Amino acid sequence: MPHTEEWNVRLHLFEDDEGTTNARVVLDTGTSTITGHGTAHCNPEDRNVPEIGDELAAGRAMHDLAHQLLTVAERDIEGMVPRRHGNPPLVGWPT
């Protein structure tokens, strides 16, 4: 049976007074939201290139979001699959 969903992702980038680039990425599934966070700091000896800070912070926030989403999926799988005493599940999605 075909299944189609549309989830929305918003990425927010901002720099604080100390020069740290912060990123927040929010996944909205329509029934829940997950928020990932990331930061980037410019080495004082390096040339300040804001785009690089944005890329690093955004990538780290998306990585955090992906990790959280996989954790949620693993918990959902564990809740659906019967277990044998102390043994791995009989069936399930590979994660």
Tell me if 89 sits within 8 A of 54, measured CB to CB. Answer: no
Percentage of the chain exceeding pLDDT 70? 85
Residues 6+ apart with CB under 8 A from 14: 21, 22
Burial of 26 (0-12, 13-18, 19+ CB in 10 A): middle
Q: What's the pTM?
A: 0.81
Is pLDDT of 31 > 90?
yes
Residues 28-56 have a mean pLDDT of: 94
Report the sign of the C-alpha dihedral through residues 66, 68, 74, 79, in that order.
negative
CATH superfamily placement of domain 8-72: Rv1738 (3.30.160.240)
